Structure 1
Amino acid sequence: MAVRPAAGRTQLMSAQPDHAPVTPYAPPGAPAELLAQLRADRRAAQWVPVFEREWAAALEESRRTFSLAGLYEVVQVWQARVVSAPAVDEFLASGRDETGVVDLEEIRSRRR
């Protein structure tokens, strides 16, 4: 079926969806690279299951909302964790007192 827009150009209408289906696995690129980094880290036993759970939840949310924002957020948060891990290790090894420290995740959740 052809539709004639105001500008005079002919456009074809299609019954096909304009989005690609989301696959149930992490696509190549940043998420896959990040998962490889997490698996290679000494914290893999703790980090990998949590990342996979958060990624799966964000993937399901993106399917429902057609938004990639949650997927980007999961990747960004985990990239920040990987980058900051050496500094955290150094802090913990220094024996500094953590009394009175506020959890950043708690602060973030209050903003939402």
Structure 2
Amino acid sequence: MSEGVYYRGTLKEVTKLQGETLEALCKRILEDRKIKLDSHYTTSKEQLIDDCYDEYIPHEDILYSIERESVNLYDDIFKINKGKDGVLRFELKYYDGRCGFNEALEEAFNNITHR
């Protein structure tokens, strides 16, 4: 069943090891969680995003960890603000029958503001 949702939280860049690619980082996270690559995924990134969609999101060549809380209000909101500490803080409120959490974050990235 679809329902309206509103999230507020932060996105923190997950630090890569020196020379580590985004794909290698995703593989390392899966291995740390003892998750093996399923045959229907072609990359570790795909599996991480599918298995941990509410914990991680990639954007460009950066993987962010997600911390969020649910808020109950009525208007659609897609916001991300970058603080002086480099942490991205997001606020999302939308009807989840129209889009999913990652799509809402992508919309917020399109509206990003820097402080």
**So what's the TM-score if we normalise by structure 2?**
0.27
Query: TM-score, length-normalised on structure 1?
Result: 0.27
Higher relative contact order (CA 8 A, sep 6+): 2
Relative to its length, the structure with more helix (as a share) is 1
Larger fraction in strand:
2
